[in-house]
A = this chain, B = another copy of it.
Amino acid sequence: MRAWELHARPGFEALTEVTREPRPLGARDVRVRIHAVSLNYRDIVLARGAHTRARTPPVIAGSDGAGEVVEVGPSVQRLRPGDRVAGLFFPTWLDGEISAAHHASALGGAHDGMMAEEVVLDETAWIKVPSHLSYAQAATLPCAGVTAYHALFEKTRLGPGDTLLVQGTGGVAMFALQLAKAVGARVVVTSRSAAKHERARALGADHVIDYVATPAWGEAVWIWTGGVGVDMVVDVGGPGTFDQSVAALRFGGTMSLLGVLTGVRGEINTYGIFHKALRVHGIYVGSARMFESLNRAITATALEPVVDRVFTFDEVPAAYEYLAGGHHIGKVVVTI
């Protein structure tokens, strides 16, 4: 079986194509022939840092895969060969709140991931995907789709007439935009390029704003709402966007904080959280139940995940390079 592992080499040279023996199948296990894997910013961070935390043996890269069930263990009940499935980002997080143990189960970091021809996981770690999606589209769901669903509908619940601010046009942002429009919310998108503005509008954005031309975009958005503020921000930037997110929010509004695009620490205005009585929720993907809910939402609203570009299995390093370039709208996918 072919697979891409992360080895202890600098940059994307860490990505190493190898041949692995197929894993044996336990009683509750399900073997899936992977057809597509989508990339996340986390994959870039993990690849770039692979030389600093060499794992022996090396782990298979990638967390978000979709494919077809080819073999099931004797105790498996929910799935059978031929089922179209995607894997859980945290294979042990089925329902309820995240725990340290669930967190440690994430694929593609400490444990083998999805960038392989075949993957074996417990049956509970595989979720059936909506029938109208291609495998490339289905592979966008485990992290980006579930994260957006979690942010919008689990901690608080975005509803019709609410206003959402999303940052950029990455995978989570585009899912958040599409899901928000599906429930009758208004959406503002920040982005620096005219092409991305156009695409965001085509997907339903009510307002777009260039965060380079308007550094105080938070206040600009606040003004756009008539001086009320937005109900929710999906913040993918972290420290570099935090203050503007706070400026954009209404009193009692919600920030779903889920990204590190501008770093892991920085100076922020903590007074704003207190003063405006905000809720800041750290959102780290989600559970199997949230994935099932996302799928119901996608099916009911015929949502089509935004796939920016598809690479072949031979082009995995190129796919990483492309994602790192930051010119994408939606998700970057590798098909196998």
Q: Judging by beta carbons under 8 Å apart, are B293 and A282 in contact? A: no
CA–CA, A103 to B250, complex, Å? 12
Residue from B184, B259, B271 in contact with A265 in the complex, judged by beta carbons closer than 8 Å:
B271
Give the residues from 151 to 170 in chain A that come closer than 8 angstroms, CB to CB, to chain B.
153, 155, 157, 159-162
Given A97-B251, A160-B296, A162-B296, the answer on whether A257 and B242 have CB atoms closer than 8 Å is: no
Residue from B95, B263, B273, B297 in contact with A160 in the complex, judged by beta carbons closer than 8 Å:
B297
Q: Judging by beta carbons under 8 Å apart, are A270 and B242 in contact? A: yes
Given A238-B274, A264-B269, the answer on whether A96 and B289 have CB atoms closer than 8 Å is: yes
Q: Judging by beta carbons under 8 Å apart, are A270 and B265 in contact? A: yes
Q: Judging by beta carbons under 8 Å apart, are A301 and B184 in contact? A: yes
A279: Cβ under 8 A from any B Cβ: yes
Chain A 37-65: CB-based contact to B (< 8 A → 1; otherwise 0): 00000000000000000000000000000
- Residue in chain B with minimal CB distance to A273: B282
Q: Judging by beta carbons under 8 Å apart, are A98 and B297 in contact? A: no
CA–CA, A108 to B20, complex, Å? 46
Question: How many copies make up the complex?
Answer: 4
Contacts of A278 in B (CB 8 A): 280-282
Q: How far is the CB of A129 from chain B (nearest CB, A)?
A: 14
Q: Judging by beta carbons under 8 Å apart, are B97 and A94 in contact? A: no
Q: Judging by beta carbons under 8 Å apart, are B161 and A296 in contact? A: yes
Question: What 6 A-B pairs have minimum CB-CB distances, sorted nearest first?
Answer: A95-B96, A161-B296, A264-B271, A160-B297, A161-B297, A157-B157
A3: Cβ under 8 A from any B Cβ: no
A258: Cβ under 8 A from any B Cβ: yes
A336: Cβ under 8 A from any B Cβ: no
CA–CA, A284 to B276, complex, Å? 8
Q: Judging by beta carbons under 8 Å apart, are A257 and B279 in contact? A: no
Extra A-B contacts (19), CB below 8 Å, given A153-B160, A265-B269, A266-B268: A26-B27, A94-B95, A95-B96, A96-B287, A98-B251, A103-B251, A153-B157, A159-B293, A160-B300, A161-B296, A161-B298, A161-B299, A161-B301, A260-B274, A264-B271, A265-B268, A266-B270, A274-B282, A280-B281
A21: Cβ under 8 A from any B Cβ: no
CA–CA, A278 to B256, complex, Å? 10
Residue from B100, B277, B283, B299 in contact with A274 in the complex, judged by beta carbons closer than 8 Å:
B283
A87: Cβ under 8 A from any B Cβ: no
Contacts of A98 in B (CB 8 A): 251-252, 277
Q: How far is the CB of A280 from chain B (nearest CB, A)?
A: 4
Q: Judging by beta carbons under 8 Å apart, are A279 and B239 in contact? A: no
Contacts of A160 in B (CB 8 A): 153, 179, 182-183, 296-297, 300-301
Q: Judging by beta carbons under 8 Å apart, are A257 and B269 in contact? A: no
Chain A 60-103: CB-based contact to B (< 8 A → 1; otherwise 0): 00000000000000000000000000000000001111111001
Contacts of A138 in B (CB 8 A): none
Give the residues from 167 to 202 in chain A that come closer than 8 angstroms, CB to CB, to chain B.
179, 182-186
Contacts of A239 in B (CB 8 A): 268, 270
